[in-house]
């Protein structure tokens, strides 16, 4: 029965472009796969990836020099990577990230037929390629899901506890809720994002147009309310379902988000080094580790701003707050060490030695500030 339901749902949920907007050709000299009719770029790889469900999907990987994040993009319903190709290039340049985009089974030149379960296998294959071929780490990957792409994005994110971040662009609560305002989740529904988003443990940015006539903006707002780690959302005034990239605030807000989540891990690592130099992070070898429960599922959103005239000042204030936080942590370390030595040895000489360590710690922070 589940297979029948999934097949019926697929007829309403998936509309791959027909004919596809591109062809795959092989270069006569290099034997590299190329995306026709687009010119070859040295920083772009075109790939065929096998999935665990027996299909073969087409993906493109865009390299960006000095990138510290990799964005895995799951596109919307009536699109393929040929139509998304130029946007992928622009996002890679403006966000300074490596980017992988892929076609779902049955889309573009990918084999098979589109279905909910196939899209889950498709994104897993793309993620596996990032890890194995490009050595991307989970904590450096940002998942980006647009429209129906929010389904495979949240399904994968709910199993990856150390992701850098998630971006949801015009997301859906579930397949059925796009058509009917139901109040509960039914067994035959597809892409039950409403049930999966509370399991996502990384920062989540939601972008939605206020005039979206395909997926109402209320979908994005309700998903944002259910996030564990909220980031200030972007409700694009007047934005519709397929034009948000045309608004200046779209790329501005997205760049700010990427910059924020890229800084966040280094701050956490600096704090750990300041408070306990012997602590080591434990990394799991299983990329689909079960998610941990959050202690605060109603975290307040991080502050952001989209006003360009205040951007430099905001960044200046953020950088100074980082430095003050590092100094505070070092001072806390001095206080704890001092109390411990007074309790154990009651020796003025030991206290002097500990103060010397504190001075070195502050000197170390000064070096960090000078970098």
Give the active site residue among 103, 122, 155, 212.
Answer: 212
CA 365 and chain centroid, separation: 30
The CA-to-CA distance between both ends of the chain, in Å, stands at 61
Q: Are strands 23-26 and 33-36 parallel, antiparallel or unpaired?
A: antiparallel
Q: Which residues contact 245 (CB under 8 A, 6 or more apart)?
A: 87, 251
Cis upstream peptide for 244 (omega within 30°): no
Cα distance between residue 50 and residue 128, in whole Å: 10
Region label for 66, one of left (φ > 0), alpha (ψ between -120 and 50) or beta (otherwise): left
Residues linked to residue 107 through DSSP beta bridges, in sequence order: none
Cα distance between residue 59 and residue 86, in whole Å: 14
DSSP classification of residue 199: G
Give the active site residue among 147, 170, 174, 361.
Answer: 147
Q: Per the structure block, which two tokens stand in for 291?
A: 């998610």
10 Å CB burial of residue 193 (0-12, 13-18, 19+) is buried
- Catalytic, 159? Answer no
Q: Per the structure block, which two tokens stand in for 366?
A: 């000064």
Q: Which residues contact 199 (CB under 8 A, 6 or more apart)?
A: 157, 158, 291
Give the active site residue among 159, 241, 274, 361.
Answer: 241
- Catalytic, 218? Answer no
DSSP string, 269-318: HHHHHHH-TT--PPPPS-TTPPPPPPS-TTPPPBP----GGGHHHHHHHH
Which residue, 110, 55, 52, 53, is CA-closest to 81? 110
Which residue, 120, 106, 97, is CA-closest to 167? 97
128: three-class secondary structure by DSSP = helix
- Catalytic, 212? Answer yes
DSSP classification of residue 231: B
By annotation, the residues acting in catalysis are: 147, 212, 241
């Amino acid at each position: 029965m589940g297979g029948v339901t999934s097949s019926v749902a697929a007829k309403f949920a998936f509309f791959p472009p027909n004919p596809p907007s591109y062809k795959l050709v092989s270069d006569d000299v290099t034997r590299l796969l190329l995306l026709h009719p687009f010119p070859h770029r040295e920083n772009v790889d075109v790939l065929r990836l096998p999935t665990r469900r027996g299909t073969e999907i087409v993906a493109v990987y865009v390299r960006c020099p000095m990138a510290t994040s990799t964005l895995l993009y799951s596109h919307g319903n009536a699109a393929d990577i040929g139509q998304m190709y130029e946007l992928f290039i622009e996002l890679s340049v403006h966000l300074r990230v490596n980017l992988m985009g892929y076609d779902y089974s049955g889309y573009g030149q990918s084999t098979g037929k589109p279905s909910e379960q196939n899209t889950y296998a498709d994104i897993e294959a793309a993620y596996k390629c990032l890890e194995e071929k490009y050595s991307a780490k989970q904590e450096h990957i940002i998942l980006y899901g647009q429209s129906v792409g929010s389904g495979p994005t949240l399904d994968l994110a709910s199993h990856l506890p150390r992701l850098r971040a998630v971006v949801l662009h015009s997301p859906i609560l579930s397949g059925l809720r796009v058509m009917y305002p139901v109040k509960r989740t039914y067994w035959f529904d597809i892409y039950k994002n409403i049930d999966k988003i509370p399991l996502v443990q990384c920062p989540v940015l939601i972008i939605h147009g206020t005039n979206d006539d395909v997926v109402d903006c209320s979908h994005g707002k309700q998903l944002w309310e259910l996030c564990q780690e909220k980031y200030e959302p972007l409700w694009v005034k007047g934005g519709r379902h397929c034009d948000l990239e045309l608004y200046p605030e779209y790329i501005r807000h997205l760049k700010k988000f990427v910059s924020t989540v890229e800084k966040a891990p280094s701050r956490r690592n600096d704090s750990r080094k300041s408070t306990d130099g012997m602590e080591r992070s434990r990394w799991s070898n299983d990329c689909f580790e079960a998610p941990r429960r959050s202690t605060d599922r109603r975290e307040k959103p991080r502050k952001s701003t989209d006003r360009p005239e205040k951007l430099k000042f905001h960044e200046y204030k953020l950088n100074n707050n980082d430095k003050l936080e590092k100094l505070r942590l070092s001072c806390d370390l001095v206080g704890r060490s001092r109390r411990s030595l007074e309790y154990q040895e009651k020796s003025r000489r030991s206290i002097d030695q500990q103060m010397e360590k504190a001075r070195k710690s502050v000197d170390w922070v000064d070096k960090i500030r000078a970098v």
